[in-house]
Structure 1
Amino acid sequence: MKKIVVLTGAGISAESGIKTFRDADGLWEGHDVMEVATPQGYAKNPGLVLDFYNKRRRQLLEVSPNQAHHSLSKLEDHYKVHIITQNVDDLHERAGSSNVLHLHGELLKARGSNDPNSIVECKQDIKLGDLCAAGTQLRPHIVWFGEDVPLLDQAADITANADILIIIGTSMQVYPAANLVHYAPNNIPIYFIDPKPNIRENSFNNLTIIKDSATKGMEILAQQLLEDKL
C-alpha cells in the first residue's frame, strides 16, 4: 500500500471557522504574538496567556471538521496516510484520520510549566493555580516561538518514506516545518493546494499546483488519487 504524507497548516482549518494564525495587521485575535506565543510572554503575564488559549480551546470545541479533513480520512481506505500538521486543533482526528502528528502541540492537552512530559488531556479552561502531578502550573501543550519542536525528527523520518506528498493549507514559510518538503524522496509526486500559491511548478520535481481552497482542492485531488487505485 502506497504511503501518502500530508503536510497541513492553518488554511485547512480556516474553512471550519478557526482563524488563521495572524491577521493582516500581524496580530493574533488582537494580541501581539510575542505576548501570547512565547515563553517570555508567558513568564511576564501567565494569566493573559492562559486566558488567550482558553478562548481558543472553547472556540475549537464549537467547530467541526470540514470536507478537506474528511477527504483526507477517506484516503485511508486505499493508502497508508500520515498527516503532519502545524495545527493545534483536533479536526483531523475528529474527521477519522488515524495517523496525525502535531508539530506545534495540541490545544486539547496541557502540561506542567516545568515538566514537558507531564501531558494530560484538557478540554476545560486552565486557571492560575491548576497544577500538574509534579506540582507545577499547568500550561497549554503548545510549542511556542523560541521553543524546540520535539517531533521534528520524527516528522522528517515520515516524510523521507513518502510515496506521495500533499501540502495543503500552509504557505510553507514557517520554519522549521517548511524544511520538511526537502526530506521527501526525489521524483515522488508532490501536490500543493492553495488558492494563492507562493511557489511555482518548477520549484520541485513532479510538483502539481492546485489553485483552489482546501476543501475544493482536496476534493479534486482525492477523487484523482482514488481513481488511480481503481
Structure 2
Amino acid sequence: MLKNILSRGPSRSLNRTHKVAIAGVGTLGAAAVAFTAVPASGHTTTSEAAPTAKVAYSTKPIQDVHAGVTGHLAGADQKVASIEAKKEAAAKTAAAKTAAAEKAAQQRAAKESVSRSAQRVEVKQVSTKSYANNLDGWIREARAIMAKHDIPGSYSGIHRNIIRESSGNPTAINDWDINAINGIPSKGLLQVIPPTFKAYHVPGTSWDIYDPVANIAAACNYAADKYGSMDNVNSAY
C-alpha cells in the first residue's frame, strides 16, 4: 500500500486578526448551542422582563388619555354651567328691570291721574258761575238749575210773576187769602204754599221755602205741570 507521500507545506503562524475572528466564531457557536439547549416551554429572565415592560408602557398612555378626556369634559361642564349661570343672572336682571319699569310706569300713571283729577276740580271750580245776591241773580241761577231738569220758564215770565206776587221780597207771606185761612199761607217770591213747595221741590236747591232760588224753581216746576210754563201764568195760580 502506497503511503501518503504528499507532504504538508510549511505552516504559517496566525496573526492577531485571524485569532480574533476565530474567537468570535467560537463565541457565536457557544451561544447557538446554549439557545438550542433551552426547552421550548422554558422562559428566561430576559424574555419575562420584556412583556412586563411592554404592558407597563402600553397602560400609561391609556391612563393619560383617559385623564385628559375627563379633564376636558369637566372643563366643558364648568363652561356650560358658567354660561347657564350667566344666562340666568341676565334673565333675573332683565326681569328686575322690567318690573322696575312697570312700577315706575304705574307710579307715573297714578301721578298723572291725580294731576288730571286736580286739574278737572280746578277747572270745575273756576267754571262754577257765581250769581249776584239780588232778584236778577236769583232768577238767573234758578233758570240754570231749571234747565238741567228741563223745566221751562223765561226770564221775563218769571220776573213778571214775581213782581205781581211779592214785589221781589223773598220773605213775603200772604196772611189773608184762602190759603192763609186754611192755615197754609203762601210764602216767598212766587207765593208758594208749603205742600206745593214740598211736592214740586227741585233737586239741587234748598228745602227752605223762603230761599229765593228754591222758591222760584219749585213755583216754575208747578206752573209747568199745571199750565205748561210760568210764561202762561198772568194771575194767581
Q: TM-score range by the shorter chain?
A: under 0.3
* Greater relative contact order structure (CA < 8 Å, 6+ sep): 1
TM-score by length of structure 1 reads 0.19
Comparing both structures, which one devotes a greater share of its residues to helix?
2
Normalised to the residue count of structure 2, the TM-score between the two structures is 0.19
